[in-house]
Amino acid sequence: MSTKETTPHTDHHESTRLRDERLRKLEKIKSLGIDPYPYKFTRTHKAKELQEKYQHLENSQETTDSVTVAGRIHNERNDWMFIDLYDDSGKIQLYCDKEKLDQKLVEFLPLLDKGDQIGAVGTVRRTPRGELSIKVTEITILCKTLLPLPEIIEGKRRHLGIHDIETRYRQRYLDLIVTPTSKETLRKRALITAGIRNYLNNIGYIEIETPVLQTEAGGAEAKPFVTHHNALDIELFLRIATELHLKRLVVGGFEKVYELGRIFRNEGISTRHNPEFTSIELYEAYADYHDMMNLTEDLIKTVCKNVNETLQVEFQGKPIDYEKPWKRVTMLDLIKEHTGVDFAPLLGKNVKEVHDLPQIKNLKINLSECGSVGETIAEVFEEKVESKLIQPTFVMDHPIETSPLAKKHRTTSGLTERFELFINGWEIANSFSELTDPLDQRARLEEQAKKKDAGDEEAHSLDLDFITALEYGLPPTGGLGIGIDRLVMLLTNSASIRDVIAFPTMKPV
């Protein structure tokens, strides 16, 4: 501090100047024998509790009820006569009548700054203007801040806030202080994840944590992050799915098991993609994908109602109705509906012959990457149908070539018992009647391994221990995965995945 005082102001950046001013006040507070960073403070009420409790207090009415509150100063008016104090429940105004205040406190007030955390004791009153206030008798500094909070001006109106979206994500603590909706979104996210766990725990599921560090990153098609374990001197991968370990747990005798947790995929970043994101996967013995559809629909309806108190939710201007029974339709029927092409008779045909059919050529889709009719179907679906599925829709019975972990369809050959849930054109959930036949599973993963060897970085890897587990017997099992971040986006009307992740991945500055 002492060297700073001798430094000319001209050598300082503005931010340093503002900080120095607060350091000066900090020193002053210390010199008064006050600890600017005390250990504990006991309050009697939160802001919201007071607002509710004194809802019926009339304008200008005063009580003798003494209360103690604590929070952060967001604003001050008329030389500290009015202070807007915020805690995590909301706002309460402090009223400082300097004529009646202890002289020491009057002298202390100018040492405060917006952003400081304080505790206050006083009596409850409603001002003539109708603002519930605490008529202050004591103020305790709880934390002296050194940096000013960001403020924005709209018209002539000034309030706390940040327009710069980069700052909002990089310095999320600031965003949370000054942007009420940011805080609300994360609060809702917590409500959603807690709601999901509650729902599942109540019907007999248990949550078990499976490894993040794996020697084979299996269970999905994605590029993994690679890391290294020093003591073992081996390459390890961050998990891309929880699927294979959870199914091992079902082999081990857990009949209803899930994990809600972080997974990692080494792919692009966008408004809908963060390299680490949260999924829930759950597995239920003796269930099939029809059971999983019922569970998915009921689960999402339940959390939606919890969070929004309604099943009609707007997403970026589009009304989405979660209430009506969700449409259940096969992938082939949807393709037929949107393109007029019926793939059912083409299943099992030679892929080149299929691509040469006039009605396929007319679709004007690049199918050169599709090495099978199944892959062609998936591609046509993605190109022509996916983005149109705005209202909740279960898309059922995917081709076998693109679903290596799903059981063959019980009646239609070439298809599997799988569904994906689409809302707002996004895949929200993915589910199968899990493949339990160890010989079939081995054959399908070996097929994937061939693709991987041929250079497909995203093909499934061959996890031999998983195959071994299946040979010890996986009962009929329904499995389900839900992308939590996108679900939260939908239920909180958030345009970017970064809004629903507290600390989204950013390039270092």
Residues 242-301 that bind RNA (CB under 7 A): 265, 267-268, 270-275, 277
The answer to whether 91 contacts RNA (rule: CB under 7 A) is no
What is the DSSP pairing of strand 327-330 with strand 393-396?
parallel
The answer to whether 156 contacts RNA (rule: CB under 7 A) is yes
- Collapsing DSSP to helix, strand or coil, 322 comes out as coil
Q: Which of 458, 462, 475, 502 binds RNA (CB under 7 A)?
A: 458
Smallest distance from the beta carbon of 129 to RNA, in angstroms?
Answer: 5
The answer to whether 232 contacts RNA (rule: CB under 7 A) is no
Site for RNA in 198-227 (CB under 7 A): 220-222
Tell me the window of 32-40, 95-103, 297-305, 444-452 that interacts with RNA (CB under 7 A).
95-103
Angle subtended by helix axes 438-453 and 464-471, to nearest 10: 170
The answer to whether 495 contacts RNA (rule: CB under 7 A) is yes
Tell me the window of 40-48, 61-69, 97-105, 318-326 that interacts with RNA (CB under 7 A).
97-105
279 contacts 509 by C-beta, under 8 angstroms = no
Identity of the residue, 271 or 310, whose beta carbon is nearer to RNA in the bound complex: 271
Q: Which of 2, 64, 78, 368 binds RNA (CB under 7 A)?
A: 78
Smallest distance from the beta carbon of 99 to RNA, in angstroms?
Answer: 5
Tell me the window of 158-166, 286-294, 307-315, 357-365 that interacts with RNA (CB under 7 A).
158-166
Nearest partner of 291 among 482, 419, 478, 481, judged by Cα: 478
Tell me the window of 123-131, 290-298, 344-352, 463-471 that interacts with RNA (CB under 7 A).
123-131
Structure tokens, 318: 């589009």
The answer to whether 430 contacts RNA (rule: CB under 7 A) is yes
The answer to whether 167 contacts RNA (rule: CB under 7 A) is yes
The answer to whether 97 contacts RNA (rule: CB under 7 A) is yes
Identity of the residue, 150 or 414, whose beta carbon is nearer to RNA in the bound complex: 150
485 contacts 278 by C-beta, under 8 angstroms = yes
The answer to whether 417 contacts RNA (rule: CB under 7 A) is no
Angle subtended by helix axes 289-308 and 484-492, to nearest 10: 40
Helix (H) or strand (E) holding 232: none
The answer to whether 158 contacts RNA (rule: CB under 7 A) is yes
Cα–Cα distance for residue pair 304/322, rounded to 1 Å: 8
How many C-alpha atoms does 45 have within 13 Å on its Cβ side? 23
The answer to whether 500 contacts RNA (rule: CB under 7 A) is no
Cα–Cα distance for residue pair 485/342, rounded to 1 Å: 34
Question: What HEC string does 41-97 produce?
Answer: CCCCCCHHHHHHHCCCCCCCCEEEEEEEEEEEEEEEECCCCEEEEEECCEEEEEECC
Lay out the site mask for RNA across 10-29 (x = CB under 7 A, - = otherwise): x-xxxx-xx--x---x----
Structure tokens, 9: 């102001």
